[in-house]
Structure 1
Amino acid sequence: MRIKKQTSRQICIFLSVLLGAFIFAPMCFAAEFTGLPEIDNIFNQLFSLLFGILRAVGAVLLIYGLVQFAQSFQAHDTTARISGILMIAGGLIVCFLREILAFMGIVV
């Protein structure tokens, strides 16, 4: 039984999101309930570093998506255009992840 490339990519994305949810959720709750300033400071610095790295990765994805979208107009390629739009959307989501989480009520 062979899995299509698009299906395997969707499974990979789903598992990555699921893994991220399991990794980051306990750390958020642990940082909230410590009550010790030394430990809270370490968690805050760790989260600042993590979200800084994610913001940089999101910016790279956003730029790559913009380039791919612009090149699709020159080549008249609709699949590349759709892929570029999805890359731009993913880059924006990753770039503004902290603000999205704050809007949802998850304080990090």
Structure 2
Amino acid sequence: MKREQITVMNNNETMEGKKMKGLISRATKKIVPAISGGMMGVILMSTTCFAASGTSAVTQPLDNLKTLVIAVIGAVGVIILAKNVMEFAQAYQQQDSSTMNSALKGIVAGVMMAGISAVLTFLGF
């Protein structure tokens, strides 16, 4: 009885090994052509780009956008700074410490936003 069980186990193990080998070979037969086709498509679809003599035609709009964004951030920073200074003055007059604390945080944020344009200009951006 033990021999029959061993024989059956060996047959199952060999059948599972054959199934696994078949699965790997079928997957390989599908994956390799797909990867090869993708690589060939990438190689054949390359395009030559003829740029203008200078790069200013490309970078000028980006520079203008950068200048605009920095100017908007600086303007918003000045507005936030002015609002929080007035809020701090009112809180100081009323002796409201929690409002003074939040107003001071707003003042710091406004100074940072207003000064970002000067800092970026100093750094060369």
TM-score band, normalised by shorter chain: 0.5 to 0.7
Task: Specify the code of the residue in structure 1 equivalent to 2:110.
Answer: G
Question: Mind listing any 5+ residue stretches in structure 2 that lack a counterpart?
Answer: 1-53
In structure 1, what is the equivalent of residue 43 of structure 2? none
Could you tell me which residue of structure 1 aligns to residue 65 of structure 2?
46
Distance 2:84 2:55 in 1: 43
1:79 aligns with 2:98: yes
* Pairwise CA distance, 1:43: 1.1
Q: Which residue of 2 aligns with 1:89?
A: 108
Query: Conserved in 1, the CA contact under 8 Å of 2:71 and 2:117?
Result: no
> What is the CA-CA distance between 1:98 and the residue it aligns to?
2.6
| 2:11 matched residue in structure 1 | none
Q: CA deviation at 1:101?
A: 3.8
Q: How many residues align?
A: 72
Q: Distance in 1 between matches of 2:72 and 2:84?
A: 18
Q: Deviations over 1:27-79 (max 9, x none)?
A: xxxxxxxx611122111100111011111110111011101100011111011
**TM-score scaled by structure 1?**
0.60
Using the alignment, how far apart are the partners of 2:85 and 2:102 within structure 1?
10
Partner of 1:69: 88
**TM superposition score normalised by structure 2:** 0.52
Q: Moved runs in structure 1, 4+ residues, more than 6 A?
A: none
RMSD: 1.5
Q: Percent of counterpart pairs with the same letter?
A: 24
Aligned equivalents of 1:87, 1:36: Cα separation in 2: 41
Cα distance between partner residues in 2 of 1:81 and 1:39 = 48
Structure 1, unmatched stretches of 5+, are 1-34
